[in-house]
């Protein structure tokens, strides 16, 4: 796919004032869908470009398909340039602390008075309420919103191994923006959209809230949960390799026993139904563990796949670059980085009319498109 190919949001202009993950995720998705996303950066660039450790991949991951314009919005000249750009925009994205954009003259009410059709997407820690003054991070809201409690073992809350709320918060920002674009066709007016980390995390834990509402029993963390299925676990195989294996129906149970040669378990009347097996789950898992210790991972995986049983290797993130399915299905694509290297990145996890939404341009260098945009150069 080339930039000139028609995409759903071709012709939509987005001005992005954001950093880290949540706001950039919103901008990246809109850019992948074809919008012209102009990322406003300070002269030394978005600080996310230089993060170490677990933040090292943030900028590359969440800023593709965008243009970079350097504007110092703290100066009178820079602010005027930003306002002029926003006058030409359909959508503004921001994820600064509450009140900051308004304090410098870039709040929704001020901008909407100039551009009535503007859709203004704010990404915050909390929606308006008693907590909205607090500083929030993904880990903060995972603790507050029940997710860390559900992820870790009892007494040891543990954040999920990805920026799940930041990423989903950006996705909800996109959903709001797309809905507002559609509504603008009817009303002719834009609106302010707010997406927040805490409320996002609560939404992720809503199923557990309803479990408590229905059972009136405290919901145990996942490592201590009472499983709905008897076989739904990670097992150790020969050579200390591991495999997740599941059997969630009575038919799958019988099939699994046949695949691994557990004939005595298959004929045990105490294990005939899933409910019976769940009642005896610790004993059952112990017996399965002994049997599975004798199985080679590659050979067993092939048999499980042939039998149509759910299974999964325990992959690390670096393993995914070589994943057969991702590579064969076009789920990974080459992207030239801002330093001129080439890396492979996961595309949005969807098909539109049978096509993947591709990488359209190299990752922007700091201020690479400043002259083009501020001089109103054509696309």
Residue-wise pLDDT tens digits, 271-290: 999 999 999 999 999 999 99
Domain hosting 189: range is 13-205+324-374
Tell me whether residue 218 is in a domain.
no
Residue 179 DSSP class:
H
User: Are 71 and 40 spatial neighbours (Cβ–Cβ below 8 Å)?
Assistant: yes
pLDDT-derived band at 6 (thresholds 50, 70, 90) equals confident
Q: At what angle do helices 250-260 and 281-292 cross, to 10 degrees?
A: 30
| Sequence-ordered list of residues with C-beta below 8 angstroms from that of 171, at least 6 positions apart, any chain | 25, 26, 29
Tell me whether residue 336 is in a domain.
yes
Q: What is the pLDDT of residue 5?
A: 62
Which residue among the candidates 46, 166, 250, 334 is catalytic per the annotation? 166
Does the global pTM surpass 0.85?
yes
Please give the structure tokens belonging to residue 215.
């059972």
Q: Report the CATH number at residue 263.
A: 3.30.1540.10
Residues 367 and 365: their CA atoms lie apart, in Å, by 6
Q: What is the pLDDT of residue 226?
A: 80
Identify whether residues 238 and 201 lie together within a single domain: no
Tell me whether residue 210 is in a domain.
no
Residue-wise pLDDT tens digits, 33-88: 999 999 999 999 999 999 999 999 999 999 999 999 999 999 999 999 999 999 99
Residue-wise pLDDT tens digits, 308-335: 999 999 999 999 999 999 999 999 999 9
Q: What is the pLDDT of residue 377?
A: 44
Q: By C-alpha distance, which of 66, 50, 52 is closest to 13?
A: 66
Domain-terminating residue out of 291, 316, 341:
316
166 carries an active-site annotation: yes
For 188-246, where are the alpha helices, taking DSSP H only? 197-204, 206-215
Helix/strand/coil (H, E, C) string of 303-350? HHHHHCCCEEECCCHHHHHHCHHHHHCCCEEEEECCCCCEEEEECCCC
pLDDT-derived band at 228 (thresholds 50, 70, 90) equals confident
Residue-wise pLDDT tens digits, 174-199: 999 999 999 999 999 999 999 999 99
Q: Report the CATH number at residue 38.
A: 3.40.50.10540
Q: Please, what is the end-to-end C-alpha distance for the chain in angstroms?
A: 16
Q: How many structural domains is the chain composed of?
A: 2
Residue-wise pLDDT tens digits, 165-178: 999 999 999 999 99
Tell me whether residue 2 is in a domain.
no
Tell me whether residue 249 is in a domain.
yes
Residue-wise pLDDT tens digits, 103-121: 999 999 999 999 999 999 9
Residue-wise pLDDT tens digits, 119-145: 999 999 999 999 999 999 999 999 999
Mean pLDDT of the chain: 95
Residues 295 and 303: their CA atoms lie apart, in Å, by 11
Residue 89 CA to its chain's centroid (Å): 26
| Sequence-ordered list of residues with C-beta below 8 angstroms from that of 151, at least 6 positions apart, any chain | 142, 157, 158, 159, 160, 221, 222
Q: What is the pLDDT of residue 378?
A: 39
Tell me whether residue 250 is in a domain.
yes
Tell me whether residue 21 is in a domain.
yes
């Amino acid at each position: 796919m080339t930039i000139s190919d028609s995409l759903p949001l071709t012709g939509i202009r987005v001005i992005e004032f954001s950093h880290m993950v949540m706001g950039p995720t919103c901008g990246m998705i809109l850019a992948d869908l074809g919008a012209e996303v102009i990322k406003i950066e300070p002269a030394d660039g978005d600080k996310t470009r230089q993060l170490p450790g677990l933040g090292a991949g943030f900028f590359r991951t969440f800023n593709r398909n965008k243009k970079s314009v350097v504007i110092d919005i703290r100066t009178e000249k820079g602010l005027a340039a930003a306002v002029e750009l926003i006058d030409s925009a359909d959508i503004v994205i921001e994820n600064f602390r509450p009140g900051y954009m308004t304090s410098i003259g870039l709040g929704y009410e001020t901008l909407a008075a100039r551009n009535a059709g503007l859709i203004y997407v704010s990404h915050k820690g909390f929606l308006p309420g008693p907590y909205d003054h607090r500083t929030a991070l993904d880990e903060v809201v995972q603790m507050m919103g029940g997710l860390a409690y559900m992820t870790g073992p009892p007494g040891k809350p543990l954040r999920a191994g990805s920026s799940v709320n930041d990423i989903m918060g950006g996705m909800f920002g996109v959903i709001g923006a797309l809905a507002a674009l559609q509504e603008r066709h009817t009303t002719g007016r834009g609106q302010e959209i707010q997406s927040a980390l805490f409320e996002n995390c609560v939404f992720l834990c809503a199923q557990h809230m309803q479990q408590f509402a229905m059972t009136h029993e405290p919901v145990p963390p996942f490592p201590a949960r009472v499983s709905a299925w008897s076989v739904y676990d990670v097992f150790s195989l020969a050579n200390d390799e591991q495999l997740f294996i599941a059997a969630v129906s009575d038919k799958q149970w019988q099939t699994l026993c046949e695949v691994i040669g557990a004939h005595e378990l298959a004929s045990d009347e105490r294990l005939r139904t899933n409910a019976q097996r769940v009642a005896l789950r610790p004993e059952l898992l112990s017996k399965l563990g002994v049997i599975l210790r004798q199985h080679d991972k590659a050979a067993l995986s092939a048999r499980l796949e042939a039998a149509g049983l759910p299974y999964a290797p325990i992959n690390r993130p670096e393993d995914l670059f070589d994943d057969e399915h991702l590579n064969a299905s076009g789920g990974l694509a080459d992207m030239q980085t801002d330093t001129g290297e080439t890396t492979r990145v996961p595309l949005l996890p969807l098909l539109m009319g049978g096509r993947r939404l591709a990488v359209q341009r190299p990752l922007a260098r700091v201020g690479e498109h400043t002259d083009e945009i501020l001089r109103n150069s054509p696309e």
